[in-house]
Amino acid sequence: MSDKIFLRACRRESVERTPVWFMRQAGRYLPEYREIRRQHTLLEIVRQPELAAEVTLQPLRRFSLDAAIIFADILLPLPEMGVSFEFAQGEGPVIHEPIRSRQQIDRLYSFDPAQNLAHVLAALSIVRGELDPAVALLGFAGAPFTVASYMIEGKGSRNYAHSKALMYGDEDAWHKLMALLTGVTIAYLRAQVDAGADALQLFDSWVGCLDEADYRRYVLPHSRELFRGLHDLNVPLIHFGTGMQHLLGTIAEAKPDVIGIDWRLPLSRARQMLGNEVALQGNLDPVALLAPQDVLLGKVDAVLKENVGPGFIFNLGHGVLPPTDPQSLVAVVDRVRELSQES
Amino acid sequence: MSDKIFLRACRRESVERTPVWFMRQAGRYLPEYREIRRQHTLLEIVRQPELAAEVTLQPLRRFSLDAAIIFADILLPLPEMGVSFEFAQGEGPVIHEPIRSRQQIDRLYSFDPAQNLAHVLAALSIVRGELDPAVALLGFAGAPFTVASYMIEGKGSRNYAHSKALMYGDEDAWHKLMALLTGVTIAYLRAQVDAGADALQLFDSWVGCLDEADYRRYVLPHSRELFRGLHDLNVPLIHFGTGMQHLLGTIAEAKPDVIGIDWRLPLSRARQMLGNEVALQGNLDPVALLAPQDVLLGKVDAVLKENVGPGFIFNLGHGVLPPTDPQSLVAVVDRVRELSQES
């Protein structure tokens, strides 16, 4: 298992070229995904393991990727904890009754992922069986802060005012919610490894809205707990966020194996800030995939020239956008393979 | 004029206490503003100088502030250039026909602010006449990048994909648009100083979505031009943005007198990065104003303890949010006056 190039890079072992995958590599930009979506909602797909596995594998048939990531959603645990939501047309997920009070938090409950999210685990097993053994399989979950914010805001937010108001106004309730999410997330991610995942990514897309003092007080204890609860699995743990360059040093204290960096921070700066004890993943701006090919490849080259390996995985700084032409991903994968082999 | 404490702080002269004002200190969180909005739309207010002046002065009657900022909107120049918009209910501004092509850019035109935005200038003159002479009066405009992005996206955006797609896909058209906006902004800000503004703030709220290389290529030449075109006025120029800590050094190259910093970056770090040749403004998280008073004051103290003067103006890291209790601003102003006088 440790022969997979993706896993070796996560462990900062030397590799013959830079491994590459893309966040949201399965999804709406692919015609074959849209074809399936014509007959099924997103939640129908994730609830049918055969369909979820098929969608997971679609990008692997087109592109020479070094990792697959199971097709699922960071909010899948919510209904199992008593928080219902739906995907509103063109709006993303909308929580029916956002969590804003201690009383609501007291009513939330834990669950057994082997039962309640068995469909995700089944999809992982199917993919595991069909995947090229050289390709790594990633499981994932939302990080407690980002999932808590979703629960509290009820939808996307520009300023996370409700989340911070709860955090500042009822610190006990906040920590209770975070502890619940941390426990659930540990169990869910452990189950994913049991089902065949050989690395795990934690999506903390929204954590960059916090300053360092707040991160340290309201989030870090739970991050530490989370990584501690997964450590014995001996699979690489990736912590991904956006706009969080001011938090990198503090995030590293929880000991992820890999930190995902967005395009705002040059990777060489991240390496300076973090030292050599962690692998880096990133950081092409997904909007660059909408640019003419010469601009796109210039930006790929700039990422590679940061030259931060060993311990580097090429990826985007956020997910593939729906208007992306799949051919742009082909061009990026080719370029990464070509240039990273030269050096 | 140079006796005003706000202006002295902008010029990094020593001051007897830290001056303070708040972005969006006039607005929806004030009952007396909501009272006026019951009878007038936002655009009606800005088009009637007496009303705009009244709204500008409202927060000055409640709080001991060191600066007033004229009540206006960064998008006011758009219709005068051929780009119409409206404030959609609960959605913020929506551009009727977003600018996405060279042809549309070719059809845009410049205008004379003394004529087309005479109402803003008239409001400045009224405020100037009524304002305590110890209080500075700020004029402002949107920075070219943020205004261009609004024109192109048509509304708020999470990833600025259309803006970057135009920037990458037709660099000439992008620079033409930015040059037009730069020229218009220089003329508009000069007219505001003629009308009585004694400092100018440039709002570049969205620029943090760019990486440093893109900022340098697509924005910096225009920022330089803009600041150069205002330099002889000898009034302090403030460049404000959010999530732009990765750009600070580059932004400073255009030579603003003051840089506005959001709460993500501790001010002492900003001072380290920027040196002593620029004043800093910021950086309390506006969401802290929704917190219980002990948490709020703890955060005010933390900002003041960064101790980055001379050349420091206390402000928020972004605008006051509508649910804010005005009493929270009273508490902050009192605390800033009290603590900054001790030291």
Cα–Cα distance measured from residue A142 to residue A242, given in angstroms and rounded to the nearest whole number: 13
pLDDT tens for A134-144 read: 999 999 999 99
Over pLDDT 70: what percentage of chain A? 99
pLDDT in tens, chain B (343 residues): 458 999 999 999 999 999 999 999 999 999 999 999 999 999 999 999 999 999 999 999 999 999 999 999 999 999 999 999 998 877 789 999 999 999 999 999 999 999 999 999 999 999 999 999 999 999 999 999 999 999 999 998 889 999 999 999 999 999 999 999 999 999 999 999 999 999 999 999 999 999 999 999 999 999 999 999 999 999 999 999 999 999 999 999 999 999 999 999 999 999 999 999 999 999 999 999 999 999 999 999 999 999 998 999 999 999 999 999 999 999 999 999 999 986 5
pLDDT tens for A274-286 read: 999 999 999 999 9
Cα–Cα distance measured from residue B44 to residue A259, given in angstroms and rounded to the nearest whole number: 49
- Contact indicator for A123, A45 with CB cutoff of 8 Å: no
The answer to whether the CB atoms of B169 and A291 lie below 8 A apart is: yes
Q: What is the distance in angstroms between the Cα of B194 and the nearest Cα belonging to chain A?
A: 36
- List, in order of start, the domains of chain A with CATH numbers: 5-342 (3.20.20.210)
What is the per-residue pLDDT for A319?
A: 97
Spot the catalytic one: A33, A73, A217, A334. Answer: A73
What is the per-residue pLDDT for A342?
A: 60
Is residue A273 predicted with pLDDT exceeding 60? yes
List, as ranges, residues 75-114 from A with C-beta within 8 Å of B: none
What is the per-residue pLDDT for A2?
A: 53
A292 touches B: beta carbon within 8 Å? yes
* Mean pLDDT value of segment A43-69: 98
Mutate which of A168, A294, A328 to disrupt the B interface (most B C-beta within 10 Å)? A168
Instruction: Look up residue B194 and give its amino acid.
Output: D
The answer to whether the CB atoms of B161 and A318 lie below 8 A apart is: no
Cα–Cα distance measured from residue B87 to residue B95, given in angstroms and rounded to the nearest whole number: 9
Over the range B190-202, which residues count as b (16 or more CB within 10 Å of their CB) and which as e? bbbbebbbbbbbb
What is the per-residue pLDDT for B21?
A: 98
What is the per-residue pLDDT for A88?
A: 82
Cα–Cα distance measured from residue B31 to residue B325, given in angstroms and rounded to the nearest whole number: 10
B321 touches A: beta carbon within 8 Å? yes
* pTM for this prediction: 0.95
- The residues pairing with A92 across neighbouring beta strands, listed in sequence order, are A88
List, as ranges, residues 163-202 from A with C-beta within 8 Å of B: 164-165, 168-169
Is residue A1 predicted with pLDDT exceeding 50? no
* Mean pLDDT value of segment A101-119: 98
Cα–Cα distance measured from residue B313 to residue B22, given in angstroms and rounded to the nearest whole number: 10
CA B52 remoteness from chain centre: 17
B286 contacts in A (CB within 8 Å)? Answer: 159
Tokens of B26: 């006039």
Cα–Cα distance measured from residue B257 to residue B254, given in angstroms and rounded to the nearest whole number: 10
* Mean pLDDT value of segment A186-204: 98
A158 touches B: beta carbon within 8 Å? yes
A302 contacts in B (CB within 8 Å)? Answer: 213
